[in-house]
Amino acid sequence: MHNITTEIFYRTARSGGKGGQNVNKVETMVEAWWHIQNSHAFTPEEKELIQTKLANRINKDGYLVVKSSETRSQLENKHIALQKMQELVAQSLIVPKKRKPTKPGKAAKEKRLESKRRESFKKQMRRSDW
State residue 41's pLDDT score.
Answer: 85
The H-assigned helical ranges of the chain are 44-53, 74-92, 106-127
CA-nearest of 112, 130, 106 to 120 is: 112
Q: 112-117 contacts: CB < 8 A, separation 24 or more? A: none
User: How many whole angstroms separate alpha carbon 11 and alpha carbon 32?
Assistant: 7
User: What number of other Cβ atoms are within 10 A of residue 103's Cβ?
Assistant: 7
Average confidence (pLDDT) over 60-84: 90
* Percent residues over pLDDT 70 in the chain: 91
pLDDT value of position 18: 66
Under the banding of pLDDT at 50, 70 and 90, the label for residue 104 is very high
Domains and CATH numbers, the chain: 1-130 (3.30.160.20)
Give pTM, 2 decimals.
Answer: 0.67
What is the percent of the chain with per-residue pLDDT over 90, rounded to a whole number?
A: 44
Report pLDDT for 84.
Answer: 93
Q: Give the pLDDT band (50/70/90) at residue 4.
A: confident
